[in-house]
């Protein structure tokens, strides 16, 4: 099930609203128009907070896949976690810094209104606007402060990891940062039982976030160490450009390939995808030759990380990536499929 819905995009980054945010808006709308307005404004400021992370990411050429907005903040899903600590902490710190700046600015504005408009206080409109500005100032300060809690998935957790990573291996830094986060989460939940139920929820949220972050980071960093040549199949089944589609399909089924690898006199020509072949009616596949279909020129080097191959599969929607050597880019020495990726994943899990 989808829990977040796209509401638009900024700089080509899709922005999604999480269902909890929508529910909160609906619930609040029943109780008070003022709180409804407040939450709508909060949503605007959470977006700005997230976009400030994205701006720094953009600066370092890190792609932001999407932004999901939650009532207590947002999550920017980035293509890959920067392993350079200097980049990670700058990216993480940008959000809280901007929230603090906005909060302080709104506080100053709230203080300025009675000075600049001494009689305006009598107008009910100005009084409401002042309350709104003041509440938004506080909310922005909370947003900044809350996100600085040194626990994943909060920004503070990322800053802490980056600081630790200056001194140790990235995966160890993740382990320690996540450990601190888990303890904080437990403490928060325990305190919450006595003081405030919200703290319990947030504590659990932090605990789960820390656990997930460790798993995914550790597996992806160990997976990054698995080379294509370690998990590729060196037996290559290819067809010639003049092979008919129905013959090509037979080769595919025999080799258990999802796509067709085309070679001419031992030189790699390209990939014809399953989707392209399926567009052709079965009775036409007997006559049509593979060279008549569009081909993708895709390959990976045998010494590259398996993650590289996996990214290509996702991006190109294929399940077969030919492997070549750097010196001989025209000669296919093996193939990787999603099975190789799954194997690499198991290998990474065993390695950690
Ligand atoms: Zn943030």
The mean predicted confidence, pLDDT, of the chain is 84
Q: Residue 12: what pLDDT? A: 81
Q: Residue 197: what pLDDT? A: 80
Confidence of residue 1 (pLDDT cuts 50, 70, 90): very low
Provide the annotated active-site residues: 50
* Ligand 1 centroid to residue 99 C-alpha, Å: 9
Q: 108-122, 232-246, 288-302: lowest mean pLDDT where?
A: 108-122
* Ligand 1 centroid to residue 247 C-alpha, Å: 54
Mean pLDDT over residues 205-211, rounded? 79
- State pTM to two decimals: 0.66
Query: Does pLDDT of 107 surpass 50?
Result: yes
In the chain, % of residues over pLDDT 90? 10
* Ligand 1 centroid to residue 76 C-alpha, Å: 8
Query: Does pLDDT of 211 surpass 90?
Result: no
SS (H, E, C) the chain: CCCEEEEEEECCEEEEEEHHHHHHHHHHHHHCHHHHHHHHHHHHHHHHHHHHHHHHHHHCCCCEEEEEEECCEEEEEECCCCCCHHHHHHHHHHHHHHHHHHHHHHHHHHHHHHHHCCCHHHCHHHHHHHHHHHHHHHHHHHHHHHHCCCCCCCHHHHHHHHHHHCCCCHHHHHHHHHHHHHHHHHHHHHHHHHCCHHHHHHHHHHHHHHHHHHHHHHHHHHHCCCEHHHHCECCCCCECCCCEHHHHHHHHHHHCCCCEEEEECCEEEEEECHHHHHCCCHHHCCCCEHHHCCCECCCEECCCEHHHHHHHHHHHCCCEEEEECCCCCCCEEEEEEHHHHHHHHHHHHHHC
Confidence of residue 122 (pLDDT cuts 50, 70, 90): low
* Ligand 1 centroid to residue 15 C-alpha, Å: 14
């Amino acid at each position: 099930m989808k829990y977040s819905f796209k509401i638009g995009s900024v700089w080509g980054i899709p922005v999604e609203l999480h269902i909890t945010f929508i529910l909160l808006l609906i619930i609040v709308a029943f109780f008070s128009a003022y709180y409804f307005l407040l939450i709508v404004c909060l949503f605007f400021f959470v977006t700005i907070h997230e976009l400030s992370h994205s701006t720094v990411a953009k600066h370092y050429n890190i792609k932001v896949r999407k932004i999901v907005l939650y009532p207590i903040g947002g999550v920017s899903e980035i293509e890959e976690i920067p392993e350079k600590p200097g980049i990670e902490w700058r990216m993480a710190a940008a959000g809280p810094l901007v929230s603090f700046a906005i909060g302080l600015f709104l506080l100053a504005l709230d203080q300025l209104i009675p000075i600049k408009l001494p009689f305006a206080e009598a107008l009910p409109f100005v009084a409401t606007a002042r309350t709104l500005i003041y509440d938004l100032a506080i909310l922005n300060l909370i947003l900044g402060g809350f996100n600085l809690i040194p626990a994943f998935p909060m920004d503070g957790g990322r800053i802490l990891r980056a600081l630790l990573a200056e001194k140790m291996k990235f995966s160890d830094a993740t382990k320690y940062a996540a450990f601190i986060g888990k303890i904080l989460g437990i403490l928060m939940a325990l305190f919450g039982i006595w003081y405030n139920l919200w703290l319990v929820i947030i504590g659990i949220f932090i605990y789960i976030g820390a656990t997930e972050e460790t798993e995914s980071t550790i597996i992806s960093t160990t997976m990054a160490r698995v080379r294509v040549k370690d998990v590729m199949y060196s037996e290559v089944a290819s067809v010639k450009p003049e092979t008919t589609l129905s013959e090509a399909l037979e080769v595919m089924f025999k080799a258990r390939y999802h796509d067709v690898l085309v070679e001419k006199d031992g030189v790699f020509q390209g990939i014809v995808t399953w989707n392209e072949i399926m567009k052709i009616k079965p009775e036409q596949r007997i006559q049509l030759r593979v060279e008549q279909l569009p081909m993708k020129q895709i390959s990976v080097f045998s010494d590259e990380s398996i993650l590289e191959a996996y990214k290509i599969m996702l991006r190109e929607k294929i399940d077969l990536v030919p492997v070549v050597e750097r010196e001989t880019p025209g000669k296919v020495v093996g193939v990787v499929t999603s099975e190789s990726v799954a194997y690499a994943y198991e290998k990474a899990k065993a390695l950690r």
